[in-house]
């Protein structure tokens, strides 16, 4: 049947598109109704369709299905946007809460170390006591230090003087310093890494006045000393020599007795 004759008889070719959409796009949109399927089949088979049914049934029905599918798609997009907005609000709220908690935690740590420092000043004032009182206090301090777990953990390590900067050893050895930290802030164990003259000691869940914290210290062996390279208490990190020195003093607060003089050792 030639197109001219078909037109005279009330027949026409099925269109290649409806509302600017191919039949594949219509199916992907979710508007694959009976009317759209009828037109798609006729187009694929290159068949003629009734002009009257095309105009009154198939084309309007397919367009209606497309409109409904587009409306559903717009609604789904709005719901997706709302879900994304809600999720983003949750993320922002969570980040704000984490920042608030971290700030509060840092403030608690500062207050705890400030309190410890104040106690240290009182301990320093006690140095004016007679020498026999000082010796008695030091002897009492030796007992818990000798039982510190860190001494067992580092039993194979050379106990060299601790230094805050290269060439300036302090009055403490490395093990005495770590033992004093353990006695002052009892912890739930250690994570220790040692290799090539480098040492990292992490005291896990150390019991500070206002809660559990991580105390991490890193050292490098330089000549006959262990040089403190980094000291960290939870979010507070001291990396410069001056900051390491002050943070260490605040933590110990004058309560850590120096090592015995060399002549007193066997």
Model confidence pLDDT, tens digit, residues 185-233: 899 999 999 888 899 999 998 888 767 889 999 999 988 899 999 998 8
Confidence band, pLDDT 50/70/90 cuts, at residue 141: low
* Structural tokens at position 108: 């608690």
**pLDDT value, residue 216:** 93
What's the mean pLDDT in 172-191?
Answer: 91
Q: Quick one: pLDDT band at residue 149, thresholds 50, 70, 90?
A: very high
Looking at per-residue pLDDT, the higher value among 94 and 165 belongs to 165
pLDDT tens for 4-25 read: 555 556 778 888 888 888 989 8
Residue the block writes with tokens 């700030």: 103
What is residue 259's predicted lDDT score, i.e. its pLDDT? 73
The answer to whether 252 and 184 are in contact (CB under 8 A) is: yes
Chain segment 228-259, per-residue pLDDT in tens? 999 988 888 887 888 888 888 888 877 787 77
CB 169 within 8 A of CB 163: yes
Q: What angle do CA 201, 175, 109 make, to 5 degrees?
A: 55
Which is more confident, 238 or 153?
A: 153
In tens, the pLDDT along 105-139 reads 667 666 666 655 555 455 444 444 444 344 334 43
Beta strands 161-165 and 225-233 are parallel
Q: How far apart are alpha carbons 34 and 25 in whole angstroms? A: 15
Q: List b or e across 227-264, with b for residues whose CB sees 16 or more CB atoms inside 10 angstroms.
A: bbbbbbbbebebeebeebbbbbbbbbbbbbbebeeeee
Handedness of CA 17, 20, 25, 27 (dihedral sign): negative
Eight-class DSSP state of 159: -
pLDDT at 200: 95
Per DSSP, the three-state class of 184 is: helix
Residue with tokens 């105390």: 215
Higher pLDDT, 98 or 158: 158
In the chain, the DSSP E strands lie at: 11-13, 17-18, 21-22, 48-50, 161-165, 168-173, 190-195, 198-208, 211-222, 225-233, 236-238
Please enumerate in sequence order all residues whose Cβ is within 8 A of that of 175, keeping only pairs 6 or more positions apart, or say none: 150, 151, 154, 157, 159
The whole-number pLDDT of residue 178 equals: 94
Confidence band, pLDDT 50/70/90 cuts, at residue 179: very high
- Report the b/e string of 140-174 with b at 16+ CB within 10 A: eeeeebeebebbebbeeeeebbbbbbeeebbebbb
Report the largest interatomic distance among the alpha carbons of the chain, rounded to a whole angstrom.
128
pLDDT tens across 36-54, in order? 898 888 888 888 888 888 8
pTM reported for the whole predicted model? 0.50
Look at residue 177 in the predicted model and tell me its pLDDT. 92
Report how far Cα 22 is from the mean position of its chain's Cα atoms: 49
């Amino acid at each position: 049947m030639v197109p001219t004759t078909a037109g005279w008889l009330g027949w026409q070719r099925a269109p290649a598109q409806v509302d600017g959409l191919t039949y594949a796009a219509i199916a992907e949109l979710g508007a694959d109704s009976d009317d759209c399927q009828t037109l798609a089949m006729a187009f694929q088979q290159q068949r003629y369709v009734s002009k009257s049914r095309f105009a009154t049934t198939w084309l309007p029905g397919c367009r209606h299905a497309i409109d409904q599918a587009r409306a559903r798609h717009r609604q789904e997009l709005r719901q997706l946007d709302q879900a994304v907005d809600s999720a983003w609000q949750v993320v922002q709220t969570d980040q704000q809460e984490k920042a608030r908690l971290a700030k509060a935690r840092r403030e608690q740590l500062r207050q705890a170390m400030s309190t410890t420092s104040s106690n240290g000043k009182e301990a320093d004032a006690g140095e004016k006591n007679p020498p026999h009182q000082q010796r008695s206090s030091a002897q009492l301090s030796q007992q818990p230090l000798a039982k510190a777990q860190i001494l067992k953990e580092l039993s194979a390590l050379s106990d060299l003087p601790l230094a805050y900067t290269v060439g300036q050893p302090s009055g403490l050895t490395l093990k005495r310093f770590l033992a004093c930290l353990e006695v002052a802030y009892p912890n739930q164990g250690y994570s220790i890494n040692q290799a090539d003259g480098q040492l990292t000691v992490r005291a896990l869940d150390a019991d500070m006045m206002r809660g559990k914290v991580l105390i991490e210290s890193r050292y490098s062996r330089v000549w006959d000393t262990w040089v403190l390279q980094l000291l960290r208490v939870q979010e507070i990190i001291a990396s410069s020599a001056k900051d390491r020195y002050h943070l260490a003093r605040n933590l110990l607060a004058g309560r850590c007795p120096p090592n015995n003089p060399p002549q007193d050792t066997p």
